[in-house]
Each structure stands twice: as C-alpha cells, then as structure tokens.
Amino acid sequence: MNVRSTTFPHKSAHKETWNSRDGRTSNQIDHILISNRHRSTISDIRAFRGAEIGSDHNLVIATVKAKLRTTQKLKRGYIKKPDLEKLQSPSEVIRYCVEVENRFQALERNDEEDCNVTWNNIKEVILAAGEKCLPSRTKAKKKWFDNECQDLVNQTIHKRREWLQAGKNETTTKAYKDAQKQSPQFKKY
C-alpha cells in the first residue's frame, strides 16, 4: 500500500486535513492509501476547506485517471409498475376487462401446442392491456429542504467563511458554532 497524500506539493492550507477544537493546531492526519499497482492513476490530492459538513476534518479529494477495462453488460429494461389503485373504480375495471378480452380473442385463433409460447402470449396480453388502461405509478416526492433550511445552511456557510478569514478568533468561532447548532443538518430528526 502507498500513502499518496504526502507526495504532491501544496501550500499548507491545502495540506491540513484536521483542525483542533481550539482553532490553532492543524495537521495532515487524513490520507489516501492505494495499492502499488494503481499508484500512477492518482495525479493530485489536496484538502478543501470549503466543504461545510460540521466536522473538524477537511474534505480530501483525489484526482484519479482510472485505467479500467470494462465489460459489456446486458441492458435491462425498467419495468413500469401499473397504478393498481385505478382498479378501485368500476369504470376502470370494465375498461381493463374489455381490453383483455379483445386481446385474448385474437389469441384464440392461434393454436400453439408449446406451453412456453402460450404462456408468453398470455403474459404479453395482460401486460399490454395494463399499459394501455393503467398508466404507470409515479411517487410524489416530499419536499423536505425548504427555503428556511436553505437560509440556515447559507448562514452557516457565511459564518464559516468569516471564521476562516478572521484567523479563527473567539468571536467568530462562537458565531460559527451557534450557526452550526441552528442549522438543520445538525439536528436529529
């Protein structure tokens, strides 16, 4: 295994991956390990202070140029799930039954003795009638990240930038920690 974080020259602000609680001490303690075989794929590693995650660690990002061999995979189609709640209304049930009957009448003319072919025909009839009469179901997404959450996160990011630019003094540290406590990403639901 190779420690690649220490091989690239950067200024000290881009090497620091951890800041102590007092805001004065910072070290490079987070590293990226890679096997000797793949060590030439990493072209740069540095720490980014801009990621606001509520931790005393900074984000470490590696630029990787992967040299991988790919295999062909079979494409699987997405199976649409019909909205079965539509079958609660009698008019939709009648419409679906009529559609299935019409399609089965076309199959009755075809006399196949192979049970697999017959089963595939029946399956296609039921699925085709379902697609025509019952549209696919869509889930309504809950909107949990509203404007209030966005404002609190923006306030936390703004306080963190002030804290970094002011040299991590006590007043900006306290303001930043207060903003962190109000931010929804630090609340436990």
67-77 pLDDT tens trace:
777 777 766 76
pLDDT, one tens digit per residue, over 96-150 is 888 888 888 777 766 667 788 888 888 888 888 888 888 777 777 777 777 888 8
Alpha helices by DSSP H, listed for the chain, are: 90-108, 115-133, 147-165, 170-182
In whole angstroms, what is the distance from residue 176 CA to residue 157 CA?
Answer: 9
The three-class DSSP label of residue 18 is strand
Q: What pLDDT, on the 0 to 100 scale, is given for residue 189?
A: 41
In whole angstroms, what is the distance from residue 179 CA to residue 170 CA?
Answer: 14
Average pLDDT over residues 152-163: 87
Yes or no: say if 26 and 18 are a contact pair by the CB < 8 Å rule: yes
pLDDT confidence tier of residue 188, bands split at 50, 70 and 90: very low
The region of weakest confidence among 13-17, 56-60, 161-165 is 13-17
The closest alpha carbon to 48, from 75, 13, 21, 83, belongs to 13
- Please report, for the chain, the start and end positions of each structural domain, with discontinuous segments joined by +: 1-65, 84-133, 145-183
Distances (CA, A) of 11 to 14, 15, 57: 6, 7, 17
Average pLDDT over residues 59-70: 83
